[in-house]
Chains A and B, each alone.
Chain A
């Protein structure tokens, strides 16, 4: 019994979501400008349209009409492909992310032998028929059983957009900026994937729809694995090149960066890719840890409930993005070596230990609240170890002696 696939529904959904995502990106830039302004005691753009609401349209028109310059020294093919890669991989990752109410696809014990496969399973067929008849599912590619891995794989491809952009620009500053940015991205992908593995283990599936269904029964994952949520949040901030990890973007203010040789629409594509990435990863965080479209007292079905659930997931995502924007104006930026040290020395071991705790709890069948306790214990232990590591070891003087200091001044 096969899952149904409706060609026209999918096409329409793709078209609608492409439009919605790109429109949301444009308005997110506007929200970012307004939020930045309000935090800095000023008013953001407010001239174009009421309260500046047509500003993104003005920005879009500007990018469309701006002159496309291709400098002479660039490698033309990669120069033109790189922003396209950045934007398209970010959009592609959205294909498996549910943005509205979904049902979990029915489970089945996969047949291990030919006899088992030949034997029909009527219960499973019945469930699949019910699943097929369900209302429209708010995900472009439903029942992809490797959903989370697909998202991470495709977002890893977006690193190519940056590397190719820096390389093809034929500019040493672009090259260094691109290398730094790609080093940051690939080192933060590892703790990002590992922090999600705890959630995946608890819900027995990589399928986002099943993960949401698990949270509907058992409670949101942020309650049981707050440390994993925090790790994922930090890694998402690093993946999207947002402060406090925006050293590649800060380099633009200082010297160059992989954006240097890009103008008009190609530049807009890079930013579209970045904001789409932000949207996709905050949807992921909401789905993995914050319960997706689930709201505690909202269990009914019907058109009103569907609209409400859509609104709930959209609201959670928007609140998370507003949080990212507020964090941007709160914390100072990491230096590059501090950034890499954070990823490899702090986040990855924490993610590994978190995974071990989840494995232990799941194997022994204990209650999930042990995981919450272990998260706090791990966090405090990590802080303690960092503190202890800073203290001077005995036998080595903490201050240089006065004589050596005076010798330096001669």
Chain B
């Protein structure tokens, strides 16, 4: 498209005078800024002594939540395992010893080194059993040590709840729908419910 005279904007260098051509006043002003910063407050956070303040939805190490009676909330529905993009969750389901639910995870292993900490498992869980905490500085001496099994994940829960750093995350303050239904009954509005 041809340009018109009005569309062209001419930009000229700003005019400088004799004193500015020396560059010395500008350098001096620059030095003033530099020296001012020497004495200003430093923004470094000295790490092991000062820990960073993490937002509430920070995605760190996983934990398995317990319910009020201290039992593991997980019902071994395999939703998290299926949703995981890194395929790091291994579950073996077993009939649960408690009357109010069908299954419970006999073996629940997460390979923390394969995990990408995306939070898909937390989003997928219907009963708010698995959550990501704000613990980020975990170390291990071997690869086997970093495969967290159920006891370890439950212990993470105990630690964080005791420390009070990670409150239970639940949707809107209510527990998930599936966790309130007694076992064996379908949801009220499901179309496949037995009439």
Q: Do A and B come from one complex?
A: yes
Q: Mark A390-410, 1 if CB is under 8 A from B, else 0.
A: 000000000100100110011
Q: Which residue of A lies closest to B40 (CB)?
A: A41
Give chain A's interface secondary structure class.
Answer: helix
B8 touches A (CB below 8 Å) = yes
Q: Which residue of A lies closest to B32 (CB)?
A: A330
Shortest CB-to-CB span from A255 to chain B, Å, is 28
Contacts of B46 in A (CB 8 A): 43, 46
Query: Could you say which of A43, A327, A330, A406 contacts B42, with CB atoms under 8 Å apart?
Result: A43
Q: Mark A360-392, 1 if CB is under 8 A from B, else 0.
A: 000000000000000000011001101100000
Q: Mark B32-54, 1 if CB is under 8 A from A, else 0.
A: 01110110111110100000000
Shortest CB-to-CB span from B5 to chain A, Å, is 5
Q: Mark B70-114, 1 if CB is under 8 A from A, else 0.
A: 000000000000000000000000000000000000000000000
A3 touches B (CB below 8 Å) = no
A326 touches B (CB below 8 Å) = yes
B189 touches A (CB below 8 Å) = no
Q: Which residue of A lies closest to B6 (CB)?
A: A402
Q: Are A383 and B8 in contact (CB under 8 A)?
A: no
Shortest CB-to-CB span from A392 to chain B, Å, is 11
Query: Could you say which of A329, A380, A410 contacts B34, with CB atoms under 8 Å apart?
Result: A329
**Interchain Cβ contacts within 8 Å, total number:** 58
**Distance, CA A38 to CA B42, complexed state (A):** 7
Query: Could you say which of B10, B21, B31 contacts A327, with CB atoms under 8 Å apart?
Result: B31
Q: Mark A249-291, 1 if CB is under 8 A from B, else 0.
A: 0000000000000000000000000000000000000000000
B138 touches A (CB below 8 Å) = no
Q: Mark A314-341, 1 if CB is under 8 A from B, else 0.
A: 0000000000001101110000000000
Q: Are B38 and A39 in contact (CB under 8 A)?
A: yes
Query: Could you say which of B2, B10, B22 contacts A379, with CB atoms under 8 Å apart?
Result: B22
**Distance, CA A40 to CA B40, complexed state (A):** 10
Q: Are A387 and B21 in contact (CB under 8 A)?
A: yes
Residue among B2, B16, B42, B46 having the largest count of chain A Cβ atoms under 10 Å: B42
**Distance, CA A405 to CA B33, complexed state (A):** 41
Q: Which residue of A lies closest to B13 (CB)?
A: A390
Interface hits, B7-30 → A, CB 8 Å: 8, 10, 16-19, 21-22, 27, 30
Contacts of A39 in B (CB 8 A): 34, 37-38
Contacts of A380 in B (CB 8 A): 18, 22
Q: Are A331 and B27 in contact (CB under 8 A)?
A: yes
Contacts of A46 in B (CB 8 A): 46
Interface hits, A25-42 → B, CB 8 Å: 35, 38-42
Contacts of B17 in A (CB 8 A): 387
Q: Which residue of B lies closest to A329 (CB)?
A: B34
B3 touches A (CB below 8 Å) = yes
With A402-B8, A406-B2, A410-B2 as known contacts, state yes or no: A383 contacts B21, CB within 8 Å. Answer: yes
Shortest CB-to-CB span from B20 to chain A, Å, is 9
Q: Are B43 and A42 in contact (CB under 8 A)?
A: yes
**Distance, CA A406 to CA B22, complexed state (A):** 38
With A330-B30, A406-B2, A409-B3 as known contacts, state yes or no: A41 contacts B22, CB within 8 Å. Answer: no
**Distance, CA A46 to CA B19, complexed state (A):** 42
**Distance, CA A46 to CA B46, complexed state (A):** 9
Contacts of A43 in B (CB 8 A): 42, 44, 46
Q: Which residue of B lies closest to A383 (CB)?
A: B21
Residue among A326, A383, A386, A387 having the largest count of chain B Cβ atoms under 10 Å: A383
Contacts of B44 in A (CB 8 A): 42-43
Shortest CB-to-CB span from B47 to chain A, Å, is 10
With A38-B38, A41-B37, A41-B42 as known contacts, state yes or no: A387 contacts B16, CB within 8 Å. Answer: yes
Query: Could you say which of A35, A40, A387, A410 contacts B18, with CB atoms under 8 Å apart?
Result: A387
Contacts of A402 in B (CB 8 A): 5, 8
Contacts of A387 in B (CB 8 A): 16-18, 21
**Distance, CA A386 to CA B19, complexed state (A):** 12
Shortest CB-to-CB span from B139 to chain A, Å, is 19
**Distance, CA A330 to CA B23, complexed state (A):** 12
Closest A-B pairs by Cβ, 5 of them:
A383-B21, A330-B30, A43-B44, A42-B44, A383-B22
Q: A38-B42, A41-B41, A384-B21 are in contact. List 20 more A-B contacts (CB 8 A).
A: A41-B40, A41-B42, A41-B43, A42-B42, A42-B43, A46-B46, A326-B31, A327-B27, A327-B31, A330-B33, A331-B27, A379-B22, A383-B18, A383-B19, A383-B22, A386-B21, A405-B3, A406-B3, A406-B8, A409-B3
Identify the B interface with A (CB < 8 A). Answer: 2-3, 5, 8, 10, 16-19, 21-22, 27, 30-31, 33-35, 37-38, 40-44, 46
A and B contact pairs by CB, cutoff 8 A, 16 listed: A39-B34, A40-B37, A41-B41, A41-B43, A43-B46, A46-B46, A326-B34, A330-B31, A331-B27, A379-B22, A383-B21, A384-B18, A402-B5, A405-B3, A406-B2, A409-B3
